[in-house]
Amino acid sequence: MKLSDDLLQGNTELMAVLGSAIAKRDSDTNSHNYRVTIYAIRLAEALKLNPFDIHRLIAGAFLHDVGKIGISDNILLKPDKLTAEEFAIMRTHVLLGVEIIAHSAWLMGAREVVEYHHEKYDGSGYLQGLKGDEIPFNARIFAVVDVFDALTSRRPYKAPMEFNDAMAILHRDRGRHFDPIVVDAFNVIARDLHQTRV
């Protein structure tokens, strides 16, 4: 039992360290990875996900942007809007992330989030243009909390958005970018999560 606990702790620490390294390289604080992980867990619990899927969601939350390690600084750290060519390169972080975690059976639980968190409910996302239930549920959950945290966080190029304004965007994009069921569940818990953010 102790060995099993030690292995679980070791793997959680490995995901946290790797996610932290990417967050620091991306001019972000490590708080983002912890916030989206906490948000994702709470949302998954509200949606009554089973523990196995929640563990996979945690892995994905920590490692969602791991592929950014392969994106050059002049694109990753650019303070202005990316050109179409630069954005095409930035999008490759999804495939790079899948390639990175493919080398570890322990990290493969993160794949649903790493590979599909930029898909959109209406099929207009990337990389595969999946639509609706074709998108793994963990990725649909993570898309909501990731966008919410990005909107409500300070970044080098923007001030944090007010809670009500961020929620208005989630509701506007309900059924387009986001799964309506997930947005509705998040709506119930979002204010409490935002008020206790780290």
24-33, 150-159, 188-197: segment of lowest average pLDDT: 24-33
Q: Categorize the per-residue pLDDT at 14 as very low, low, confident or very high, splitting at 50, 70 and 90.
A: low
80-89, 93-102, 150-159: segment of lowest average pLDDT: 150-159
What is the predicted pLDDT for the residue at 41? 97
Distance CA 73, CA 129 (A): 27
Instruction: Please report, for the chain, the start and end positions of each structural domain, with discontinuous segments joined by +.
Output: 2-195
Distance CA 140, CA 131 (A): 10
Give, in degrees to the nearest 5, the angle at Cα 60 between 180 and 7: 140
Mean pLDDT of 93-111: 90
The CATH class of 2-195 is mainly alpha
pTM of the model: 0.87
Mean pLDDT of 67-77: 89
Active-site annotation holder among 24, 48, 68, 78: 68
Spatial CA neighbour of 57 closest among 101, 117, 147? 117
pLDDT exceeds 90 at position 78: no
What is the predicted pLDDT for the residue at 158? 80
More confident residue, 174 or 20: 174
108-149: pLDDT as tens digits = 889 999 999 999 999 999 999 999 999 999 999 999 999 999
Tokens of 145: 């909390």
Distance CA 83, CA 92 (A): 15
Q: Is 68 a catalytic residue?
A: yes
Tokens of 57: 């969601």
pLDDT exceeds 90 at position 52: yes
What is the predicted pLDDT for the residue at 24? 59
Please give the mean pLDDT across all residues of the chain: 88
Mean pLDDT of 13-29: 62
